[in-house]
Amino acid sequence: MSKSYVIGVDYGSDSVRSVLVDASCGAEIASSVFYYPRWKRGEFCNAARSQFRQHPLDYIEGLEATVKDCLQKSGIQNIGELVKAISVDTTGSTPVAVNEAGVPLALLPEFKDNPNAMFILWKDHTAVKEAKEINRYTQGNAVNYLKYVGGIYSSEWFWAKLLHTVRVDPQVRQATFSWVEHCDYIPFLLTGGKQASAIKRSVCAAGHKSLWAAEFAGLPPNDFFAGIDPLLDGFVDRLFSQTYTSDMPAGKLCPEWAERLGLSTSVVVGVGAFDCHMGAVGGQIEPYYLSKVMGTSTCDMLVAPKEELADVLVKGICGQVDGSIIPGMIGMEAGQSAFGDAYAWLKQLLLWPAYNLLPELEDLSDTVRENILTAMEEKLLLRLSEKAAALPLTVDSELAVDWLNGRRTPDADQSLKAAIMGLQLGTDAPAVFRAIAEATCFGAKAIVERFVDQGIPIKGLIGLGGVAKKSPFIMQMMANVMNMPIRIHKSEQTCALGAAMFAATAAGLYDRVEDAMQAMGQGFECTYEPQQEWLSIYAERYEKYKALGAFVEHRVSMPVTV
C-alpha cells in the first residue's frame, strides 16, 4: 500500500518554507526555504515610518519554488501523485486590496510599484491613528464589537489598515473591491478562484483581526463602520459573513497550479490560518498550556474547552475565537510585537561600524571584508549570550522595556516606545543585551499575568520557533522570570508541520486535527526548569520593569505643549 504525503507551507516575515510530510507519522521527507527577494532588498518599506509592505510576487514565486524543491528533494518516484493535500499558514494580520476578480492590485501593471496596493505586513504600524479612532468610536457604541478581541483594536489589524489605505491613496481606494488576508488569498489562488466574493475566509483571521463573531451574525453592520469614516461605507457587503475552520477544504488544486507545482488536481487545498495558530498545533498544544511561538515577534496561543470558559472575556489580548486553533475549542491569542526583532535591532546597532566602515578599508579585499562581516553576523549574538550569562545580576542592573515595535499584549498600543535605564560608563554590550533579553522575558510574564488575573489558569509553557530552539540563555532566563518550566518542541518547523496536520485532516486522512496532532507530532526535546536561586531577584526586577513601563507609557501619552 502506497503512503500518503501532505505539504505544509509556512509564510513568515522574511521567507516562506514548505515541508513535505509523511501523513502517517509526521516524518519530514523534505523541506525548502525561499527568502523574499524584494523584501530582502528593502523595497516598498520605510522603517522610520513603520511601513512594511510585501509584494505578492514574493509570495507566489516562493510558493512555487519551495513546493517544487521539496518534491525534487524527496527522491520518491511519482511523488506528485502521492501528495493528498496542501495547507498554508501566514503572518497576520497581513491584508491586501483586491479587485472584483480577487487579484491583488499590485499584480496589475498600474499598481505594480505602489506599496499601498501590496500586502501590508503584520508589523506595519502606519495605521496607529485609525486604530485609535476605531477604539474611541466603539466606546460610544451601544454594542461592544471589540469584546472578543480584548477590548482594544490594534493598528496591526485588518480594519485599521484598510481605513488608512483608503484614506491616503484615492487610486487604490477606487480600484479596491475587497480586502483579503494573506492566509485566505493563497488557498483562493491555488484553487483557481475568479471572484473575490467566493473567497473562503478563515475563522482564525476573521475572528482575531476583523471583528467577526457568531454573536454578531458575522461582521459588525455597515452603519458601525460608516460611522467611523464614510470611506468604509459599503465594504462589509463586499467582504464575508461565513467563516471556516482550517480542518475544512477550501477546494481542489486548480489545473494551472497543479501543472506549476507538479501535483494532481485531486490535491485538497485546506482553509488557511495564521502561522502561530497552526504552529501551536504543530507544537502539540494542550488546554491551558501557553504555546509561545517565538520568532521576530511572539504569538502566545492558548486553547480551552468552551464549556469551561463560561462568560470569561480576557481583556487586552488579541482575541478569543471559537475554532481559531483547534475546532471545537476556544482559541486565545496574545503576543509581543518585538521579540527576535529586539535582538536583531541590537545586532544592527552594534554592527553599524562593520557595515559602514569596513568598505572604506582599501587595504582589505572584497573577500576578506565579506568574511569578516559574515563571521561577525554569525557570532555576535552567540558571544553576547555567553558574556551576558557570566555577568553578575543585581536588582539595580541595567533594565529595559521591550516596546521596540510598540506593545501588542497586554493592552495593544503601537505608539509606545522602548527604554533602557541604569546605564553607566561601565555598561558594555553584553549588559545591554542582557537587559533587552530580560525585557522580552518580562513582557512574556506580563501576558501570563494578564491571563491569570482574568481567571484563565496557565499550567505551563511550550516553546516553539527559532529563539526557543537556538537560545538556551534566553529560555533559561524565561523559565526563571516566569517561575515555571518551559518545554521545547523538537520540530524545527512547527508552523509548517501544523499546516501539514491541517492538510491531512482537510483531506480526510484524519477525522479530527487532534488525531493528526497525536499521530504526526514530534514530541519535545528538553525542558528548562526554574532555578530557585534566581527567582527572588527576577521577581524584584519585574516590579521595576512594570514601574519603568508605566513611566514610559505616561510620558508617551502626555500631550505635547509648545
Give the pLDDT mean for 495-499.
Answer: 97
What H or E segment, with its residue span, contains residue 249? strand 249-252
Residues 412-470: tens digit of each pLDDT: 898 899 999 999 999 999 999 999 999 999 999 999 999 999 999 999 999 998 889 99
User: What residues are paired with 252 via a beta bridge?
Assistant: 268
362 confidence band (pLDDT: 50, 70, 90): confident
**One-letter amino acid of 349:** L
Taking CA atoms, 382 is separated from 52, 378, 430, 474, in Å, by 28, 8, 11, 11
Q: Which three cell numbers stand for residue 534?
A: 534566581
Res. 547: pLDDT tops 60: yes
Residues 281-325: tens digit of each pLDDT: 999 999 999 999 998 889 999 999 999 987 899 999 999 999 999
Q: What is the DSSP letter of 100?
A: T
- pLDDT on residue 286: 95
513 touches 273 (CB < 8 A):
no
Torsion of CA 385, 388, 394, 396, to 10 degrees: -90
Query: Per residue, what are the HEC states of 387-422?
Result: HHHHCCCCCCCCEEECCECEECCCCCECCCCCEEEC
Residues 161-206: tens digit of each pLDDT: 999 999 999 999 999 999 999 999 999 999 999 999 999 999 999 9
% of residues, the chain, pLDDT over 70: 99
Question: What residue ranges of the chain are covered by domains with CATH 3.30.420.40?
Answer: 5-283+491-524, 381-490+531-557
What is the C-alpha to C-alpha distance for residues 196 and 200, in angstroms, rounded to an integer? 9
Residues 339-350: tens digit of each pLDDT: 999 999 999 999
What is the C-alpha to C-alpha distance for residues 45 and 47, in angstroms, rounded to an integer? 6
- pLDDT on residue 363: 87
Residues 234-281: tens digit of each pLDDT: 999 999 999 999 999 999 999 999 999 999 999 999 999 999 999 999
- Comparing CA positions, the residue from 51, 4, 56 lying closest to residue 26 is 4
Buried b (16+ CB within 10 A) or exposed e, 390-403: eeebeeebbbbbbb
- pLDDT on residue 558: 54
The DSSP annotation for 115-160 comes to GGGSEE-TT--TTHHHHHHHHHHHHTSSS-TTGGGTT---TTSHHH
For the chain, the farthest-separated pair of C-alpha atoms sits apart, in whole angstroms, at 78
Residues 380-406: tens digit of each pLDDT: 999 999 999 999 999 999 999 999 999
- pLDDT on residue 446: 97
What is the C-alpha to C-alpha distance for residues 40 and 54, in angstroms, rounded to an integer? 10
Burial of 83 (0-12, 13-18, 19+ CB in 10 A): buried
∠ CA(93), CA(99), CA(102), 5° rounding?
Answer: 65
1 confidence band (pLDDT: 50, 70, 90): very low
561 confidence band (pLDDT: 50, 70, 90): very low
Phi and psi at residue 19, to the nearest 5°: -130, 135
Q: Which three cell numbers stand for residue 269?
A: 487545498
Residues 111-148: tens digit of each pLDDT: 999 999 999 999 999 999 999 999 999 988 889 999 99
- What residues contact residue 445 under an 8 Å CB cut-off, 6+ apart? 481, 482, 542
User: What size, in residues, is the chain?
Assistant: 562
For CA atoms 211, 48, 495, 525, the dihedral sign is: negative
* CATH number for the domain whose boundaries are 381-490+531-557: 3.30.420.40
Three-state DSSP class for 86? Answer: strand
Res. 328: pLDDT tops 80: yes
- pLDDT on residue 296: 87
- pLDDT on residue 275: 95
% of residues, the chain, pLDDT over 90: 92
34 confidence band (pLDDT: 50, 70, 90): very high
219 touches 212 (CB < 8 A):
yes
Phi and psi at residue 84, to the nearest 5°: -100, -25
- pLDDT on residue 560: 43
Phi and psi at residue 108, to the nearest 5°: -95, 140
What is the C-alpha to C-alpha distance for residues 362 and 354, in angstroms, rounded to an integer? 14
562 confidence band (pLDDT: 50, 70, 90): very low
Q: Which three cell numbers stand for residue 302?
A: 492558548
Residues 548-557: tens digit of each pLDDT: 999 999 987 6
492 confidence band (pLDDT: 50, 70, 90): confident
Give the pTM: 0.91
* CATH number for the domain whose boundaries are 5-283+491-524: 3.30.420.40
